Amino acid sequence: MNFVSTQFALFFVSVFLLYWVLPRRGQNLFLLAASWLFYAAWDWRFLGLILLSTAVDFVCGQRIHAAGDPRIRRVWLAVSLVVNLGILAYFKYAGFFLDSLVELAGLVGWSLSQPTLAIILPVGISFYTFQTLSYSLDIYLRRLEPTRSLVEFATFVAFFPQLVAGPIVRAREFLYQLEAERTFRWDRFEGGAVRFLTGFFKKAVIADNLALLLVDPVFSSPGDYSTGTLWLAALGYAAQIYADFSGYSSMAIGAAGMLGFDLPENFRFPYLARDFSDFWRRWHITMSRFFRDYVYIPLGGSRSSTWRTRGNLAATTLVSGLWHGAAWTFVAWGGLHGIFIMANHAIRGEVRSWGPAAGLLGWGVTFTGVLLAWILFRAPSFHVAAVYLQGLWGQTGLVIVPGGLVLFCLAAVVVDHLAGWVEERSPGVLQRVPPVLRGGWFVFLVVFAWHAMAREANPFIYFQF
């Protein structure tokens, strides 16, 4: 059930109207049923995976908290890790690792038959698996006490606005909201609706039009296009993936807000980043903090020697790359960002001594590095990525002259980040814009979206992860 669909609009309006006439306990139970129905609409067979993950982590959380013996606590944590990561490994990575094993055997002269695995990737499995894991881990680390309500825990796991593509929400951010009384407030509804509309515009107008008119044709055959068109399409993909994923996150946050819940921010104008560490503090924030808290810090973080710290960074970014997809291109993309961050740490002190020019230079280097890395992320294979990157430095071929809609979409992302730049330097300034002007702006968004939505709606990019 895609957010950009009539089906979801009817579903959400029905849920919204019924939800607000129920008492708190009824609201939670109704949200749980609606969330399971929402997920079953994708493929009802995979609803059982959410039920299994929910039951396992609910029990494990109780047992970890109740156990006095550290060994028993570790056993129950291990149960949670094995079940959740085992499910994720099978559905997302089994085919990838088997294919890699066959290819590796071929390189050393062994002949292995190619196994056939018809495994369908359950939508959102990476997101809700991390969400339930954070519950068990936080209880083990004594950051959280388990909930006694199975309904509330199951609602936390399956909450439909952010179920399939985040933000990755932690139990200590959400369970207390399920325990509190919620009453309808117009200001929350208005803020949530505006946020949802903003995300809808990013996805349906900016991301989908850039994909249809520019990005997909060029990435399908990069060797056929001129250098200028390749650079334009690379910029287009940087804008597309930002508008697509931040658009989903905004819709999720907006839908949750209309139902009385606060979800954590997932994006903070990432292309304003002045270094690569800053980029990951702005891009997919909830994933970055998950890997920071549960991978990087347990490995030792920055508390060890310089080389050990760099190794921890490399390991974390490689795991992050693999999380994004079962392909070596994603691993290489994560490793490339690891190299960027390690280089960033190595020269940070020297760059700061350059004065005011350091900020502008840092932004330019960071944006260029992120842009080139996106090519590896988007390309279906190393060969396609190599052809694309080679073509950036001098190649004749087809030329795409961007039309007005493509230029508008690219400019919209620039304006979005300029507004973020202003807001970061003068917090609250955008909120002081007269309500009439804000209202007119969003009327414009609605009218423009109605006329400029892409002819073909693409699935959200992060649904595949």
Question: For residues 372 and 347, is the Cβ–Cβ distance under 8 A?
Answer: no
Q: What is the DSSP string of 107-144?
A: HTT---------PPPPTTHHHHHHHHHHHHHHHHTTS-
Question: For residues 1 and 43, is the Cβ–Cβ distance under 8 A?
Answer: no
b/e per residue 407-422 (b: at least 16 CB within 10 A): ebbbebbeebeeebee
Question: For residues 439 and 189, is the Cβ–Cβ distance under 8 A?
Answer: no
Q: Is 324 a catalytic residue?
A: yes
Count of positions (residues) in the chain: 465
Q: Distance between CA atoms of 184 and 176, rounded to whole angstroms?
A: 18
Number of other CB atoms surrounding residue 283 within 10 Å: 21
Q: What tokens does 77 get? A: 């944590």
Helices 382-391 and 357-378: angle between axes, nearest 10 degrees: 130
CB hemisphere CA count around 41 (13 angstroms): 15
User: Helices in 259-356 by DSSP H: which ranges?
Assistant: 276-282, 285-291, 297-299, 306-324, 328-352
Question: For residues 154 and 54, is the Cβ–Cβ distance under 8 A?
Answer: yes
- Tokens 């669909």 found at: 5
Residues 6+ apart with CB under 8 A from 16: 258, 259
Q: Distance between CA atoms of 73 and 371, rounded to whole angstroms?
A: 44
Helices 47-66 and 150-158: angle between axes, nearest 10 degrees: 130
b/e per residue 7-32 (b: at least 16 CB within 10 A): ebeebbeebbeebeeeeeeebbebbb
Q: Exposed, middle or buried: residue 113 (CB in 10 Å: 0-12, 13-18, 19+)? A: exposed
Task: Specify the 3-state DSSP secondary structure of 427.
Answer: coil
> DSSP class of residue 147?
P
Q: What tokens does 171 get? A: 């139990």
Q: Distance between CA atoms of 191 and 351, rounded to whole angstroms?
A: 41
Task: Specify the 3-state DSSP secondary structure of 433.
Answer: coil
Q: Of 65, 284, 324, 417, which residue is the catalytic one?
A: 324
User: Which residues are known to be catalytic?
Assistant: 324
